[in-house]
Amino acid sequence: MKKEIRLALVYRDMWQSSGKYVPRVDQLMKVAQPIIDIGCFARVETNGGGFEQVNLLFGENPNKSVRDWTTPFNKAGIQTQMLERGLNGIRMSPVPADVRRLMFQVKKKQGTDISRSFDGLNNPVNLANSFKFAKEAGMIAQGALSVTHSPVHTVDYYIGLADSYIELGAQEICIKDMAGIGRPVSIGKIVKGIRERHPDILIQYHGHSTTGFSVVSSLEAARNGADIIDVGMEPLSWGTGHADLLTVHEMLKDAGFSLPDINKQAYMEVRSLSQEFIDDFLGEYINPRNRFMNSLLIGPGLPGGMMGSLMADLEKNLASLNKWLAKRDKAPMTQEQLLIKLFEEVEYAWPRLGYPPLVTPFSQYVKNVSLMNALQTIKGKDRWSMIDENTWGMILGRSGQLLGELGKEIKAIAKEQNREYFEGVPQDLYPDELAIYKDKMDEKGWDYGQDDEELMEYAMHPQQYEAYKSGEAKINFTKDLEARRATKRSKNETQLPPEIFVELEGKKYKVTVDNGAKETTAKSNDISKPAANPAGVEKFVMAPLEGKFYTTKDNTDKAIQVGDVIEIGDTIGYIEAMKVINAIKSDVAGTVLEIYPNHGDEIEEDDQIIKLA
């Protein structure tokens, strides 16, 4: 008798592994029934991860989206699953325990059956609450092993990790190969080892296609005892996404497994609708590079789930870098050159940062530090001069202990800056906050929502929720979308060649043409920012990168004021960029005369932040 194996469609992850946004709720409802009609899915990933945050960013209520989107699958008997980040819940930073508990209760009542919980450092202590809270709410608690490939992440390590998760209450195990760099044979050995120790535990394999291993890994996982394989679908399969349903289905059938047939007509309808959503607006946020697999990523091991945001960050940083280079009469860099530089820097930085598994949020931390290192070295500065506060939290153990040893240069900087290591339970650092957000909602006259879902949303994503409620998020999203469409239209219009030759009085001259697509490389004479700070004149602290400026990191900080005396190395504010907070250290000393940006203003690299005497 053939062994039965089941399939799960990771429809949420398909979008977030490709770009920034997910479909609107009306689009999700349009595609739900065709997904059901395909007829071969035991599970569909409907929400979790960054799903709700990106809903808020384009001005949509994520609670309505989750409730409406899960309903058709609930009625059809298809299990719904979400992705949950342990200590970080469904955001990028740690979440108080009372907010985490409420999240599980809300998600279950909204129709989510299974919580796939992972910890970015594979720290069992951080997942104990996830398993407990999920089961309290009536959800299935699935523990995910964040797979990476390093000297300290061995097959035996992952088998032992599964033991720890099951002992803490995990009812299922997921092999989460988020970067697709788990070697197929090793994936098989991990599954086999878990199956031998826990013959009745359900094992699900989730692997991204990024490096090209995932199809073979899916087969090795199935042969060694996996029960469910995650798949994607065209037009968002492959690339940084997941192996396509058609390929995996046919491969497993040929290998002797029993699984339901595919309704090809329904498959083509889902494919067509997904393309329709891309053409509507989602394609504006999908970098074409993310549609291709890239074996170069075997080395740095960056995950598919963050490649969408990575390419967007790279575009912004490349533009800023090329402005910097142009001011100094240096040749601009291409996106390809900066990408390769980043990959090389990740390979250098990752071991020195203690080998954190490259999964949210720690993949972002490693990527951000590596990108800052790359940009700083291009500018002739030292590595590690721009380590953001979130990354310092990881380094110092505020999210749990790193498996690898920190590099000597990181330890030296921590000692120089008098930073203290933490060895306790990370959750203890983040006290309960629901009462605070209840008071805030009462003051604003906001309803807590059905099953307290709006309260949960506000406490989970305070800044994004306030922007959604005020309408600012919708306005900003609409402006950004129109700007992207305008840029695309301008690129498609007929343009003059970049260089033309003009003959005047018998002599030929080469003229560079600015079609509006790039910054001029000529040295500007009207730049007001000073190149140096001679003694006895006004001095300025300049923005080291672009992003959103904040005078304080939280309500325990004291903002700088006019008249304050600043020493070299003092923190004068913060910049939020690439989803993390970067402290701005002054490289000059003096008395503050003026502070230019307001709290929350967008600033660009090399903008003046404060003037000192």
Least confident of 17-21, 140-144, 277-281, 446-450: 17-21
**How many Cβ atoms are within 10 Å of 564's Cβ, its own excluded?**
16
Query: Tokens at residue 523, please?
Result: 């040295």
Alpha helices in 79-209 (DSSP H): 97-109, 124-136, 155-167, 184-197
pLDDT tens per residue, range 480-491: 999 989 888 877
Query: What DSSP letter does each residue of 502-557 carry, written as one string?
Result: EEETTEEEEEE---SSS---SPPS---S-S---TTS-EEEEPSS-EEEES-SSTTS
pTM of the model: 0.80
Is the Cβ–Cβ distance between 184 and 220 less than 8 Å?
yes
Q: What percent of the chain has pLDDT over 70?
A: 90
Does 582 have pLDDT greater than 70? yes
Q: Hey, what domains does the chain have and what are their CATH numbers?
A: 299-429 (no CATH), 539-612 (2.40.50.100)
Only one residue has tokens 């030292």, namely 382
- What pLDDT, in 10s, does the model give residues 53-103? 989 999 999 999 999 999 999 999 999 999 999 999 999 889 999 999 999
Taking only the tens place, the pLDDT of each residue in 390-421 is 899 999 999 999 999 999 999 999 999 999 99
DSSP 9: E
What's the confidence (pLDDT) of residue 498? 55
The strand pairing partners of 341, in sequence order, are none
Handedness of CA 588, 389, 299, 247 (dihedral sign): negative
pLDDT of residue 514 exceeding 60, the answer is no
Burial class (CB within 10 angstroms; exposed 0-12, middle 13-18, buried 19+) of 571? middle
Q: According to the model, what pLDDT value does residue 531 have?
A: 40
